[in-house]
Amino acid sequence: MNELLKNTLLRAIHAGAEILRHYFEGTFEVHSKDTLNNLVTEVDKKSEDAIIDLIRSEFPEHFILSEEVGEMSTASNYKWIIDPIDGTVNFAHGIPICCISIGLEQDGQMLMGAVFNPFMNELFFAEKGKGAFLNNRKLSVSSNDQLESACLVTGFPYKWAQIEIDPIPVFERFIRKGLPVRRLGSAAIDLCWVAAGRFDGFWEYNLNPWDIAAGYLIIEEAGGRVSNFGGEPYSVYHKETLATNGKIHEQMLEVIRQ
């Protein structure tokens, strides 16, 4: 069963990637959602359709949660969590830091996840208990255990009114330490790059399950740690995400909590 699930996951993510490649730097419709710069394109919808059609062709009874269509609810204990383009603003501006993210949950636990940036040809994949991989090369988080020498990445919400904590003071505390903090514009890629050891840590407020479901498992399978800002065990349905190599996790929590 797991081999069929994995095969379907990889076929689905490549189906979405073909749509992104076809339209990248071309002409397509772009609309705002709930805020001016929270964008959705016709390519998001075409990618989503291709992904869902492929999954449904193999597993018509499975639950689907996807960014644009929302919940396609069933009684199945399998749930596919889909972001047809993570980093839509980047995609809409011809910036090749964007990806497709698909996580597969079984009985409330992440079973598999894949994140694919077709413009860098980077396919990240993890299966619970079997490790994390980038293009079939096994991944491991960084070994850095000092926050002072860490390279970090973060993101900011478009809907400031919906968050309880102002993220700017936390960002300021990190940069006042002289730390390099990047903002790439794709939470799924941020998480995968922590798993690959390119970044030592990532934090962000107000993410959605489709942003993080696959990347969360990829980090854990690469040896990292993911929690909320209380340091408590993580769920992809939380709104606070701290993901690190595990070695600087408590140090980052201390800065966030100040």
Which pLDDT tens digit goes with each residue over 41-76? 799 899 999 999 999 999 999 999 998 888 899 989
Q: How far apart are CA 103 and CA 101, in angstroms?
A: 7
pLDDT exceeds 70 at position 39: no
**Domains of the chain, start order:** 2-138 (3.30.540.10), 147-257 (3.40.190.80)
26-64: burial string, b at 16+ Cβ within 10 Å, e else: eeeeeeeeeeeeebbbebbbbbbbbbbebbeeebeebbb
Which pLDDT tens digit goes with each residue over 191-212? 999 999 999 999 998 899 999 9
